[in-house]
Structure 1
Amino acid sequence: MKLVVQVKLLPTTEQAEALEATLHQLNQAANKVSRLAFETQTFGVYGLRSQVYSELKAAGLGAQQAQHVIKKVADAYTSLRGLISNGRLTGRRRRKAESKPITFRPEAAHPFDDRCLSWLHNVRTVSIWTVHGRVKNIAFTGSPGQLKTLATYRRGETDLLLRDEVWYLVATCEIPQAPLKADPDGWIGVDRGIVNLATTSDGINYSGQKLTGYRRKMAQVRAELQAKGTKSARRKLKRRAKRERRFAIQTNHVIANEIVADAQRTGRGIAVEELAGIRDRVRLWPSQRATISNWPFHQLGECLAYKARRAGVAFVEVDPAFTSQMCPNRWCGHTARANRPSRDSFRCGSCGFAGPADHIAALNVCRRASAVWAFVNMPNEPAVGSGLSASRAGQPDRTARRKPRALAPGR
């Protein structure tokens, strides 16, 4: 499976100037190619290459970099068409995107292949092509795990990136994945939420109190900066937004690592609710909308999915309908809104089964996982989608409308 490793560059002043000039010229060339592609409606790599390759070479770009500029533009328009065809870009935003050529920022990331960028792992330096010639002995650093992964599994292109005046290299690595345990010894159900970021069917809560306090502090600082409205305040707002996003990403990775490690140790699979379209399905108070929009629930699911695949752990997504209102007692299954008298508590009106609502939801997710896994691994059942999730199972009436997906053996 493919993962990316990001390491930090430590260039000298002269090296940084060469890197910055290179990015600026490459993105300037990409903007020129993009305008031509838009005017002539030529978006394929081969069509663009026949029109602009010689011109890019004459402008001082090497053969490889000219090819990368053309492919970068073609990929950008392919991504735009994908967003439109998938319905993720509609209305005014679509009309605006289609009315003008795609533009690239002067510091936008640019790919380099092994002919243009060489790694010396033993001394932790890189040599890279620039518009000022080949620049050697640029130091880089990273965590021990990142450096080991980079030296062992790096394959393909590497992106040069300038973010907040700091230089990075983002390298693609081909990581071997463990054989999938196709017959898991049970399941760990995971319920995702706001008060508790994640609750497992084992009763383990990953509380969101620390995150909530951090967010309240950031919201207060954000309101103060927005009230000022100066350029300096807007710059600080951007930095703080990135900091809050990194904090959320780190939190998700820590939670996912612990859950996957527990599943791998016990030989179980992982099941989560399918939360696609949650903003359209649930009603929220205005004060809750920002929280739902800002917290990356989907990202936690993606972290669990790829980490599970890497560890050989089965992973499925199940129908989220009524998981917090259904009694998990095998001989009951009573479902009613009254079973949940408050946000944090559950009490079955039929058999009296009671417990924390998030834990009850995780137990129901765990129960549905077995049905999903059995369904998608039936003989002669074709694999569907990317092979990472299963949806709308455990409820026969809803399953009939959508075909479940899961990580099938051998995928």
Structure 2
Amino acid sequence: MQVKLLPTPVQTLALEATLRTCNRAATHASQVAFAKNLKDRNGLQKEVYADLKATYGLSAQPAVRAVKKVVDAYATLKANLRAGNLGPPNSKRYRKALSTPVVFRPEAAQPFDDRCLSWQYDARTVSIWTVDGRMKGIRFACSPGQLKTLVQYRKGESDLVCRGGKWFLIATCDIPDPEAYEPADWIGVDRGIVNLATTSDGTNHQGRRLGRYRRWQARKRSELQAKQTRSATRRLARRAKREKRHATHVNHKISKEIVSVAQRTARGIAVEALGGIRERVRLRRDQRGTLSSWPFHQLGQHLAYKARRAGVPFLEVDARHTSQRCPRCGHTERANRSDRDHFCCRRCGLAGPADVVAGVNVRSRARSAWVFVTAPAPAP
């Protein structure tokens, strides 16, 4: 949970100095870990613990958290290399990641546990360790619902983050998932580019406004890139974050509405399993930008976690031929979909919006899959 801090100018200076000092210490520990190949927590802590306290003035627990941050960073790097997220082993990016130590930005997030960070929920303040001593009475702002969640479920460490001159604490909350109910039926959701989400009920969440917004941002981005100045580069970074926030907001609105309808009607939610679609399809050059910016994965993630929090059953089903199969007679043919918007079965004549037909097919597959999932195991 993201909680906004409201520090005074004096508290802000202390927080800034703390972040910079902790990240300098973490970078030093990272260089030692890289030079001596110490990627385990105990070995690295024995090597740098005393140095972090003496040289950078860290207390015992912040020094331990800095070491843990370094170990986690190298574990993440190893996982990314193994998953191919940095390219093949012979690529320049892959070789650079292996040949240089991890470096932490001056304002990178810093984790704090309950020994160096405490919450005063009634007063809505926090007390946090800084390089200038324990800083008490830092106010935070949150809604009543967020405060109730913090009081009941906050557990473990919290990350101190500075973003755009604003300060946040990212608090870890261990919220138990409610037990999913037995669905009376399913809502099939077809995700697309023109229509971001179309349900089997016929509800259509269009993506035209988001598409226009992205094209406008692309024009502004090309204008700024042509200037090639430091100011233009800073503006480009701000615009990229703004565009990302806008797409996330749209996905939140769509997923919230679909989950609320499913919960109100005691139905489950089914979506197509679209993993790896960017690698499977071949596109023209003018289509690549549209597909690469298609936020379908994030929409699926929002639907999954919101459904889990509401106790709504959620399934991913096979995506093959959902837009070419007739939901009435089962005839599957590419010619059934004459164009992007229309479906007409060549065998039985069933016609309708193509995205709604795809949503109905997703719903039908969810019905079959749920029967298989909930079927009792055969007796030995």
Give the TM bin, normalised by the shorter chain: over 0.9
Q: State the shift of 1:66 in Å.
A: 1.0
Q: Which residue of 2 aligns with 1:326?
A: 325
Residue pairs, 1:6-405, within 5 angstroms = 6-59=2-55, 60-91=57-88, 92=91, 93-181=93-181, 183-329=182-328, 332-380=329-377
Give the AA of the match of 2:69.
Answer: K
User: Which has the higher mean CA deviation after the structures are superposed, 342-351 or 80-89?
Assistant: 80-89
Q: State the shift of 1:377 in Å.
A: 3.4
**Contact 1:199/1:358 (<8 A) preserved:** yes
CA spacing shift, 1:379–1:86, aligned 2, 3 Å: farther
Give the AA of the match of 1:369.
Answer: A
The one-character-per-residue Cα deviations of 1:184-217 (angstroms, maximum 9, x if unpaired) are: 1111110111111100111101111221222122
What is the aligned length? 374
The one-character-per-residue Cα deviations of 1:112-145 (angstroms, maximum 9, x if unpaired) are: 1112112122222211100011111212213443
Residue 55 of structure 1: SS of its match in structure 2?
helix
Residue 184 of structure 2: SS of its match in structure 1?
coil
Q: State the shift of 1:282 in Å.
A: 1.8
Q: State the shift of 1:47 in Å.
A: 1.2
**Contact 1:198/1:205 (<8 A) preserved:** yes
The one-character-per-residue Cα deviations of 1:153-187 (angstroms, maximum 9, x if unpaired) are: 21111100011121111111122322111x31111
Matched residues in 2 for 1:247 and 1:145: separation? 24
Give the AA of the match of 2:136.
Answer: K
Matched residues in 2 for 1:159 and 1:175: separation? 18
Residue 193 of structure 2: SS of its match in structure 1?
coil
Residue 170 of structure 1: SS of its match in structure 2?
strand
Q: State the shift of 1:380 in Å.
A: 4.0
**Contact 1:184/1:269 (<8 A) preserved:** yes
Give the AA of the match of 1:18.
Answer: A
Matched residues in 2 for 1:296 and 1:78: separation? 27
Q: Which contiguous aligned blocks of 4+ residues in structure 1 show a shift greater than 4 angstroms? A: none
Matched residues in 2 for 1:269 and 1:11: separation? 44
Matched residues in 2 for 1:97 and 1:146: separation? 39
Matched residues in 1 for 2:310 and 2:141: separation? 27
Alpha-carbon RMSD across the aligned residues, in angstroms, is 1.5
The one-character-per-residue Cα deviations of 1:25-59 (angstroms, maximum 9, x if unpaired) are: 10111111111111111101111112111222223
Residue 18 of structure 1: SS of its match in structure 2?
helix
**Contact 1:185/1:267 (<8 A) preserved:** yes
Matched residues in 2 for 1:144 and 1:254: separation? 21
**Contact 1:178/1:310 (<8 A) preserved:** yes
Structure 2 unaligned segments of length 5 or more: list them: none
Matched residues in 2 for 1:143 and 1:223: separation? 39
CA spacing shift, 1:379–1:96, aligned 2, 3 Å: farther
CA spacing shift, 1:97–1:354, aligned 2, 3 Å: same
Q: Which residue of 2 aligns with 1:404?
A: none
Matched residues in 1 for 2:180 and 2:194: separation? 33
User: Which has the higher mean CA deviation after the structures are superposed, 172-181 or 96-105?
Assistant: 172-181
**Contact 1:248/1:295 (<8 A) preserved:** no
Matched residues in 2 for 1:370 and 1:36: separation? 56
Matched residues in 1 for 2:47 and 2:146: separation? 41
User: Which has the higher mean CA deviation after the structures are superposed, 86-95 or 59-68?
Assistant: 86-95
Matched residues in 1 for 2:357 and 2:96: separation? 46
Give the AA of the match of 2:21.
Answer: Q
Matched residues in 2 for 1:102 and 1:23: separation? 17
CA spacing shift, 1:89–1:357, aligned 2, 3 Å: same
